């Protein structure tokens, strides 16, 4: 349950809009000043086919849903757990240069389904948030868990599009432009490492059901 201070902070995000022009999305590229990063973290695999009940894919999905994959030493999240995921406002507290800064973000899309990539079927679940007014960065970040149905390979994927936001304080603006890139990359990489560790730890404690014998197996 959130305290009164957290409730007020979340309420203040409701009237905030994104701190970038969504109409310019088609022009987002390195040439126009945006950083575009992709990370892919292998997770414990499963048998081929749909995600297994209680398996690595489902464990990763639950961690994603509750924002438990982020290292709390770097980023903490406050949000209302009883609200729908899509459209949810979140107050993030991020650590830069030994200081904690608060940012507002909003979940803009939830992905849930099977798609075809290079002729292969992959089951994907995840979500994307975008930065709100007052955020030191502008852009969006998406987190997804993939399972390749033909092989059983499970992956955690992070996609980031960002650039510095409009920062009024000149000292923070200069410092952020000079030094923010390194902690941003560190956060993404640490997120992948933490997800792998959490999913791997749960799977190690969960006995795996034996495979059903094939038609030629000895009974």
Distance CA 163, CA 213 (A): 54
Tokens standing for 30?
Answer: 């390195």
Q: Between the CA of residue 112 and those of 27, 100, 128, what are the distances in Å?
A: 26, 33, 12
CB contact at 8 A, 147 and 48? no
Give the pLDDT confidence score for residue 115 in this predicted structure. Answer: 97
Architecture of domain 30-205: 2-Layer Sandwich (3.30)
Work out the end-to-end distance of the chain between its first and last CA atoms, rounded to an integer number of angstroms: 53
How does residue 134 score in pLDDT terms, banded at 50, 70 and 90?
A: confident
Please give the model's pTM, rounded to 2 decimal places.
0.85
Phi, psi of 15 (to 5 degrees): -90, 5
Give the rounded percent of residues in the chain with a pLDDT score beyond 90.
Answer: 58
19-23, 83-87, 172-176: the lowest-pLDDT one: 172-176
Residue spans of the domains in the chain: they are 30-205
CA–CA distance, 145 with 96 (Å, rounded to integer): 27
């Amino acid at each position: 349950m959130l305290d009164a201070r957290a409730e007020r902070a979340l309420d203040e995000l409701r009237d905030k809009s994104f701190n970038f022009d969504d109409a310019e999305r088609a022009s987002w590229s390195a040439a126009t000043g945006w950083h575009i990063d992709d990370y892919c973290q292998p997770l414990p695999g499963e048998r081929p086919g749909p995600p297994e009940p209680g398996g690595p894919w489902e464990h990763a999905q639950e961690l994603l849903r509750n924002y438990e994959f982020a290292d709390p030493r770097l980023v903490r999240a406050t949000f209302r757990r009883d609200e729908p995921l899509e459209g949810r406002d979140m107050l993030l507290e991020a650590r830069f240069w030994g200081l904690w800064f608060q940012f507002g973000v909003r979940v803009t899309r939830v992905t849930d389904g099977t798609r075809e990539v290079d002729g292969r079927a992959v089951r994907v679940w995840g979500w994307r948030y975008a930065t709100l007014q007052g955020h030191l960065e502008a852009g969006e970040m998406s987190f997804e868990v993939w399972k390749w149905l033909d092989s059983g390979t499970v992956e955690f994927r992070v996609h980031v599009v960002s650039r510095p936001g409009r920062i009024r304080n000149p000292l923070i603006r200069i410092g952020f432009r000079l030094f923010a890139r390194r902690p941003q990359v560190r956060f993404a990489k640490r997120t992948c490492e933490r997800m792998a560790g959490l999913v791997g730890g749960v799977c190690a404690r969960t006995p795996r059901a034996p495979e059903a014998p094939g038609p030629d197996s000895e009974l």
